[in-house]
Amino acid sequence: MSFLYILIPIILIFLFSFIRILTEYERGVIFTLGRFSGVKGPGLIIVVPFVQQMIKTELRTVVVDIPPQDVISRDNVSVHVSAVVYFRIIAPERAIIQVEDYYSAVSQLAQTTLRSVLGQHELDEMLSERTKMNTDIQKILDEHTDTWGIKVSLVEIKDIDINENMVRAIARQAEAERDRRAKIINADGEFQAAQKLLDAAKILAQQPQALQLRYLQTLANITNDKTSTIVLPIPLEFLRALTKAGE
């Protein structure tokens, strides 16, 4: 009887060793005598001890922080760039069989790809076209990790750090650009004003009555001002007569 008390717990422990429980986001890659035999889960699965081996993987999105990388841009500017990569496993068997450590592999591949892609752009492009570079890096990573059963869904460049000398140079460049635009806008305004004055002069020259009305309007504006100036209007015909006499 005492033998049964010892034997029953041993049998129960042995039976429970067959049982594995996987959650909804987990999958188990099963190897039978060293050969891949399938992917199981989620829920309760049976694994035969000493015959089968199960390696558990997760299907949830994994976030990888890319540490700051030293990148030299195409215009020979040294910057420090950090990023973050989002990926998930879509084929658990390939993520286990095709690569030893998929997390480390994705991290190293992301670092080299980040340096390679950013090195093909100038500093201005890095600062202004970050979205495009994110997309380019994501496509390259996704193509390389497809054989590992991994889907890279998103890449985001977090920080682009440059030294203080370059920051001051960029500030001077931005200030010069603002001055250039201000001068262009001012010159364009002067040109438009001169063009309008020329058009008005042509119209007044064609219509003497309009010139007379404009003359009277100017006199009215002068007399409305609270000044001590005395205005003595002279008829336009008298001015024309003086002009002709002078000629």
Tell me which of 78 and 206 has the higher pLDDT. Answer: 78
Domains (ranges, CATH) in the chain? 2-58 (no CATH), 62-162 (3.30.479.30), 171-246 (no CATH)
Sign of torsion over alpha carbons 206, 212, 216, 218: positive
What is the mean pLDDT of the segment spanning 185-211? 75
* 13-18, Cβ contacts within 8 angstroms, sequence gap of 24 or more: 14/49, 17/49, 18/46, 18/47, 18/48, 18/49
What is the mean pLDDT of the segment spanning 216-237? 60
Token pair, residue 50, equals 């000493």
Q: What is the pLDDT of residues 9-49, one digit of tens each?
A: 766 666 667 888 899 999 999 999 989 999 998 888 888 88
Share of the chain above pLDDT 90, in %: 40
Mean pLDDT, the chain, rounded, equals: 82
| pLDDT the model gives residue 224 | 63
Indicate if the pLDDT at residue 185 is higher than 80: yes
Q: Are 42 and 23 in contact (CB under 8 A)?
A: yes
| pLDDT the model gives residue 235 | 57
Determine which helix (DSSP H) or strand (DSSP E) holds 69, and give its type and residue range.
Answer: strand 62-72
Token pair, residue 138, equals 């994501």
Q: What is the pLDDT of residues 124-182, one digit of tens each?
A: 888 888 899 999 999 999 999 999 999 999 999 998 888 777 666 666 776 777 788 88
